[in-house]
Amino acid sequence: MRHLIFDAGTPEPAWHNVNDNVMGRRSQGGCQIQHGTLVFAGLTNTQGGGSSSIPTCPVTLGLNDHTLVFLRARGDGRRYIFRFEDDRGTAYSADFDPPAETWGRVPVTLTAFRLRFRGRWLTGPPLDPARVIAHGLMCFDGRDGPFRLAVDRIEAC
């Protein structure tokens, strides 16, 4: 059973920009819908934290009976992070490598999501899909420079 989380061709969830504010705020990034595609782009600077993210506002996602998430994405050769936030404000992250310069369907298992805070992996309870209320994308790979990730669909299976 497939469950649509995001489709850039329909009214999108409210995304907002969060850059490395707590670390000096030298990175820049944001997103917009362009021709039916969510484009997350900017510039990271590791001398100021090196991260840019675009979380959504809270919304019930209904991931109870799902084990896998697919992103239809096109990257730029950099590694990205897909994030879920639960109803307690706990953030879970999973790294993914979208194909560079071509569209691909990128699978991420829900068991791959782990607790992460300011770039550090933490021990703690596993992700409970029933509690997920928000999702987001992040560029935080330890590299300086421009980034660009295009996503037109995210679904759970």
pLDDT grade for 126, boundaries at 50, 70 and 90: very high
List the CATH number of the domain containing 143. Answer: 2.60.120.430
Residue 141 pLDDT greater than 60, yes or no:
yes
> What average pLDDT score do residues 13-36 get?
73
- Provide the pLDDT for residue 21: 57
The backbone region for 156, taken as left when phi is positive above 0, alpha when psi lies in -120 to 50, beta otherwise, is beta
What residues make up the domain containing 145?
A: 3-156
Amino acid at 38: L
- Cα dist from 127 to 22, 90, 122, 140, whole Å: 25, 9, 12, 21
- How many domains is the chain partitioned into structurally? 1
Query: 29 exposed, middle or buried (CB, 10 Å; 0-12, 13-18, 19+)?
Result: buried
